Chain A
Amino acid sequence: MSATGAGGTGAGPAEAVQAEAVQADATRAEICVVACAEAWRGDGEILAAAMGTCSILGARLARLTFEPGLLTTDGGALLTAEPVPLGAPAGPAEGWLPFRDHLWLVQNGRRHVMMGASQIDRYGNTNISAVGAWERPASQLLGVRGAPGNTICNPTSYWIPRHSTRVFVPEVDVASGLGTDRAARLGPRASRFHDLRRVVTDLGVFDFRTPDGSMRLVSVHPGVEVEEIVAATGFPLHGLAEPATGGEVPRTRPPTSAELRLIREVLDVGGLRDREVRA
């Protein structure tokens, strides 16, 4: 792929102007794909495990651009030799990762997973199991799946396509995935592999790098107001107009023209991303 490694470096003035023009028409979904991709920056040669359209696209985009060492799957048991476009055949494999080996890899640790969550609280505890009392739920969801093992063993991020107070709750009903407070209570030895990296939503990017491990606003997507995020979040956030940023909340970086080309012309020609995040 000729575009590999063309992650916006060394652009001349003409190309910069062009990038500026393309940025302006990047959709919210495309901004989200790039924000998801950024979660794996610096990870090197590990498995980028992803659930959800923009997150899967992000992993493959990161591999095609600034993080070529990443391993990605076909969504099934194959580690593909090249990142696969959505809906395309897997093509040649470079490895085999059936479910049993995927579960072993979780224990091994060379993996950074980006999961979904039906609920998330200020410490990053997440719920995909059930809403209401676990004993007799008002709404039974998937079950805990691999979330307990993922969060105690691997770096974990989250992709949440619809940021709302239904998802961003003061307290989750069932803790499937461990937050920073639960990890702290386990002690440094038991929680030494716990590593919550970032939360990407359709409105912004968040992390937990605060003194008490609670959620912090890192950046706001272009076209989003901070007030929207505050109104859509069921708990107070750190990072809002902190003095260190001069009162300004940073903007999520827009896609480069090379990234937009890869998303639109290679990875997601059918535009599935726009079904997950409306323009």
Chain B
Amino acid sequence: MAQVSTAPAGPKVTTVEEIVGSLESGMTIGIGGWGSRRKPMALVRAIYRSALEDLTVVSYGGPDVGLLCAAGKVRRLVAPFATLDSVPLEPHFRAARQRGAIELTEYDEGMFMFGLLAAAHRLPFLPTRAGLGSDVMRVNPGLRTVRSPYGPAGEEAEELVAVPALTLDAALVHMDRADTRGNGQYLGPDPYLDDLFAKAATRCYVSCERLVDPGKLGGPPQSLLISRMHVAGVVETPGGGHFTDCGPDLGRDEAFQRHYATSAADPQAWAAFAGRFLSGDEAAYREAVRRWHEERERGEGTR
């Protein structure tokens, strides 16, 4: 047997501040998860607090998109939707679109996946039927079609949408577990497209609920979604997906998400929300959320 390497993988372990400090304004940044599910919210909150601007955000959009729109960080959004799932519409995304504050590249969900697949495999495009005939073609005048070279004899060969590669400067994903080398594991029912985000990016950063030593990731091997070969840095952020769904550890914080959505729909309420929850660091956020729940429970108890 080969000798087991005991070289520490320490250099991959980093901090939220270092990760966000390594990003630059104008970058194209992919954000993993889906809607209001396993979003790297601690990293998103750090971008919210940062001086970064002029970002192109690529996301199956949820409150990540909303928060970054609220902070004026987004120049262009590439997305098939933005939703909070249990609250159908994302208020900050709506407001940004309705005041013309962001550019939008609006793709079908499947087209979006093909764009990530193309980037992950260093292809310029991948063909798909999805998008044909719809207004996706009208609102993205740069989209091209491609004709199959394998037309049946006597028939016109099929014409398909050529989805361009969604190549990313950086990807941010949140895993249930990761090891100090940067291997990422999901423990819920759905991997979403996080491995594709990792492979489509020049640099991928993984935040996780719990960081373990190499070889200590339990669970079935098929839950080992992201390989360290695609990861530039890993950081432990317990509750770092809050308030999105991070099952099985933590379900979605529905009460807090409702509070977010209600606040986001009104400028004054949003100022109060941002002042209370988003003006400090991640530790201050966690403490503010804990106290909000405490007050809420006390309020209900006296009714």
Chain A residues with CB under 8 Å of chain B are: 76-78, 96, 98-100, 103, 106-107, 129-130, 134-149, 151-153, 174-178, 182-183, 185-186, 189-191, 193
CB under 8 Å from chain A, chain B span 67-118: 79-83, 88-89, 93-94, 97-100, 106-111, 113
B135 contacts the other chain (CB 8 A):
yes
Q: Is the CB of B80 within 8 A of A146?
A: yes
Q: Is the CB of A185 within 8 A of B133?
A: yes
Q: Is the CB of A152 within 8 A of B98?
A: no
Chain A neighbourhood of B109, CB < 8 A: 99, 103, 145-146, 149
Query: In the complex, how many angstroms separate the beta carbon of B108 from the nearest chain A beta carbon?
Result: 4
- Given the interface contacts A103-B110, A136-B97, A144-B81, does A151 sit within 8 Å of B191 by beta carbon? no
Q: Is the CB of A77 within 8 A of B190?
A: yes
Q: Is the CB of B192 within 8 A of A98?
A: yes
A186 CA / B159 CA spacing, docked (Å) = 10
Known: A144-B135, A153-B129. 4 other contacts (CB 8 A): A143-B79, A146-B108, A147-B134, A176-B135
B34 contacts the other chain (CB 8 A):
yes
Q: Is the CB of A142 within 8 A of B83?
A: yes
- Given the interface contacts A103-B113, A134-B139, A189-B156, does A143 sit within 8 Å of B133 by beta carbon? no
Query: In the complex, how many angstroms separate the beta carbon of B88 from the nearest chain A beta carbon?
Result: 7
25 A–B contacts from the bound complex (CB under 8 Å): A77-B189, A96-B189, A100-B191, A103-B109, A103-B110, A134-B138, A134-B139, A142-B82, A143-B79, A143-B82, A143-B83, A143-B106, A144-B134, A145-B80, A145-B81, A148-B108, A148-B130, A152-B134, A174-B135, A175-B133, A178-B133, A182-B134, A185-B133, A190-B158, A191-B133
Q: Is the CB of B106 within 8 A of A129?
A: yes
A176 CA / B108 CA spacing, docked (Å) = 9
Instruction: Indicate the member of A99, A149, A175 with the most B CB atoms within 10 Å.
Output: A149
Query: In the complex, how many angstroms separate the beta carbon of A20 from the nearest chain B beta carbon?
Result: 39
Q: Is the CB of A190 within 8 A of B89?
A: no
A96 CA / B106 CA spacing, docked (Å) = 28
A145 CA / B94 CA spacing, docked (Å) = 15
A195 CA / B113 CA spacing, docked (Å) = 23
Q: Is the CB of B130 within 8 A of A152?
A: yes
Query: In the complex, how many angstroms separate the beta carbon of B258 from the nearest chain A beta carbon?
Result: 17
Choose from A130, A178, A186 the contact partner of B97 (Cβ within 8 Å): A130
B280 contacts the other chain (CB 8 A):
no
A99 CA / B79 CA spacing, docked (Å) = 15
Query: In the complex, how many angstroms separate the beta carbon of B161 from the nearest chain A beta carbon?
Result: 9
Q: Is the CB of B133 within 8 A of A190?
A: yes
Query: In the complex, how many angstroms separate the beta carbon of B191 from the nearest chain A beta carbon?
Result: 6
CB-nearest residue of chain A relative to B152? A189
Q: Is the CB of B129 within 8 A of A107?
A: yes
Q: Is the CB of A149 within 8 A of B88?
A: no
B155 contacts the other chain (CB 8 A):
yes
Total inter-chain residue pairs, C-beta < 8 Å: 134
Q: Is the CB of B158 within 8 A of A140?
A: no
Chain A neighbourhood of B135, CB < 8 A: 129, 134, 144, 174-176
- Given the interface contacts A153-B129, A176-B135, A185-B133, does A144 sit within 8 Å of B108 by beta carbon? yes
Q: Is the CB of A152 within 8 A of B81?
A: no
Q: Is the CB of B131 within 8 A of A149?
A: yes
CB under 8 Å from chain A, chain B span 39-80: 60-61, 79-80
Chain B neighbourhood of A151, CB < 8 A: 134
**Closest CB pairs A-B (n = 5):** A149-B130, A143-B81, A148-B134, A140-B97, A77-B189
CB under 8 Å from chain A, chain B span 231-258: none
Q: Is the CB of A100 within 8 A of B193?
A: yes
A141 CA / B90 CA spacing, docked (Å) = 8
Instruction: Indicate the member of A134, A143, A191, A193 with the most B CB atoms within 10 Å.
Output: A143
Q: Is the CB of B110 within 8 A of A149?
A: yes
A100 CA / B128 CA spacing, docked (Å) = 15
A175 CA / B82 CA spacing, docked (Å) = 17
A153 CA / B63 CA spacing, docked (Å) = 30
Chain B neighbourhood of A77, CB < 8 A: 189-190
CB-nearest residue of chain B relative to A132? B98
Q: Is the CB of A182 within 8 A of B133?
A: yes
A151 CA / B136 CA spacing, docked (Å) = 13
B132 contacts the other chain (CB 8 A):
yes
A144 CA / B79 CA spacing, docked (Å) = 9
A178 CA / B89 CA spacing, docked (Å) = 22
- Given the interface contacts A140-B93, A144-B80, does A175 sit within 8 Å of B134 by beta carbon? yes
- Given the interface contacts A142-B82, A142-B83, does A137 sit within 8 Å of B111 by beta carbon? no
A67 CA / B231 CA spacing, docked (Å) = 47
Instruction: Indicate the member of B106, B108, B156, B189 with the most A CB atoms within 10 Å.
Output: B108
A234 CA / B231 CA spacing, docked (Å) = 54
Query: In the complex, how many angstroms separate the beta carbon of A242 from the nearest chain B beta carbon?
Result: 30
CB-nearest residue of chain A relative to B77? A143
CB-nearest residue of chain B relative to A136? B100
Instruction: Indicate the member of A76, A103, A145 with the most B CB atoms within 10 Å.
Output: A103
CB-nearest residue of chain B relative to A173? B135
